Amino acid sequence: LESPRQTGVTNLIGIGNGIMDPDGQGADGMDFLENLRFTNFAPSVGCILGDEYGDYQYRYFARPGLQLNIGQGVFRLDAEISDVLGARLQQFNRSPQNGAVPGEQDADFIEVSIPLDELGGLQPGDTLRIGAVVGAPGFDPDFDRQTRQLDSSFLGNSLSGSGQGPVVLEGLSVQLALDPDPDHDGLSSAEEAMIGTDPMRPDTDGDGLLDGWEVRNGLNPLSNVGVDGRDGDPDGDGLGNFLEQSLGSNPRSVDSDGDGLLDAWEFRYGLNPASAVGMNGAAGDPDGDGMSNAQEQAAGTGPRDAASALRLNLSLLTNHVPHLSWSAVVGKSYQLELSTNLVTGFGDAPGTNFPRLAVSTLESYDAISTNPTAGAVFYRIRIVP
C-alpha cells in the first residue's frame, strides 16, 4: 500500500533480515520477496494475508504446505518489518462447506483496517495506490537470492513476470472518499447546501456557535442577532447560547439533563447541567451535609457549602415583637410553624399570612401575638412543596 504522505520503496530488496527465523524477527513472507519490484508504485506498508485463521498480527503464522512460516499481519516495509500499530484484519472462508476440508484455509474475503495516522496522516480525498500478488509454494532461501515463486494472479494495473524470476507490479490508484463534513461543524456538505451555510466554515455567521449545533437546537445558523446569536437565551434560563454550547446543555431547555435541577442553578454551583448522575444529579450531595442537590435547590441553599442551610432568624423589636426572617427563593411558598412546648410538636401558624409566596430573596414576618403573656413560643419555617 502506497500513501502519498509517506516515502515508500521500489522493491523488496533489504526488507527484513533474509533469515528463516519464525521465532526471531519472523514475518518471513516479507523476507523472501526480493524478486518483486514496483513501477509507478512505491508502497510503504505490506500485508501478509490469505489464511482464514490469520485474524491478528502473527509473525510466525504457518500456512499448510509451505516450507516456512510466512506470518500474517500488516507491516512496514523496512529492515525490521515493523508492526503497523493499531492495524486489524479479519479473514473468512465463505465456501459452501458442510465439513472441514484438510488444508482448505484460503481466505476468500479479507478486511484490513489501518489507522490513517499510521499512513502518515492520510486525509479524506487523498489518492493512495494498492497492489497485491499471490504467493506460490516455492522459495529460494539462499541469502544472495531470497526469492519466492509468484503466481500470475494479481491486483493492480499491471504485472509482468512470474515464478521466481523478476516480477514487476504496478499499483492501482484509489481515491478515498471526500470528507462529508470538511469543516467539522456537524453538518454534511449536502446539508449545508440545503441550508445555505458555508461547508468550509464551521460558523457561517461568525457568532461563535457551530452551524451544526445551531441547527440541532432550532437556531438559525445564518443569523447572529437576537435569540439566534451568541448571547441569545431561547429558554430564558439566564445562560446564553455560547455558554450553553460550551457546557453541552440545551439552549431550549431549562433542565437539559432532566434531573430536576435547573441548568442555571447547576452552572452557578459548579455542577454539570448535562449530567444527571452522581454528584451532578438530583441525589448528589457535593458538600456532604445530608441535603441532596434537589433539596438544596428547593431550599435556596448552596450545594457546595455545608454551612449553607434554610435557617429562621429571630430578633426582638423594641416592643418585644419577634421579627422572623429567612433566606428565600423567589416564587417558592413557605409555611411558618410554631410550638409552645416542643413536646406536642409543631403546627402551622394560625391566621392567613401563611403559606406565603416569596417575592424576594430575604423574607420576614413580625409575629405579633394576641396573648403576649402566654409563655415561650418556638418557631420554624418549611418549604411548601
Q: Which of 319, 337, 335, 338 is nearest to 377 (CA)?
A: 338
CB atoms within 10 A of CB 92: 12
- Average pLDDT for runs of 10 along the chain of length 385: 97 90 89 94 96 89 86 95 95 69 74 96 94 92 87 96 94 94 95 97 98 98 98 97 98 97 96 97 95 90 87 87 89 90 86 90 86 78 85
Q: How far separated are the first and last CA of the chain, in Å rounded?
A: 69
The pLDDT, as a whole number, for residue 314 is 93
The answer regarding whether domain 313-384 maps to CATH 1.20.1250 reads no
The pLDDT, as a whole number, for residue 384 is 87
The pLDDT, as a whole number, for residue 97 is 61
The pLDDT, as a whole number, for residue 354 is 92
The pLDDT, as a whole number, for residue 303 is 94
User: DSSP assignment of 320-341, as one string?
Assistant: S-EEEEEE--TT-EEEEEEESS
Q: Where exactly are the structural domains of the chain? A: 28-175, 180-230, 251-308, 313-384
Q: Which of 313, 310, 329, 331 is nearest to 367 (CA)?
A: 313
The pLDDT, as a whole number, for residue 21 is 87
* Pairing of the two strands 167-170 and 158-160: antiparallel
Phi, psi at residue 33, to the nearest 5°?
Answer: -140, 30
Residue with cell 441553599: 301
Instruction: Answer yes or no: are the C-beta atoms of 312 and 367 closer than 8 Å.
Output: no
The pLDDT, as a whole number, for residue 168 is 98
Distance CA 247, CA 257 (A): 12
The pLDDT, as a whole number, for residue 100 is 57
Specify which residues 127 forms β-bridges with.
175
The dihedral of CA 238, 242, 246, 252: what is its sign? positive
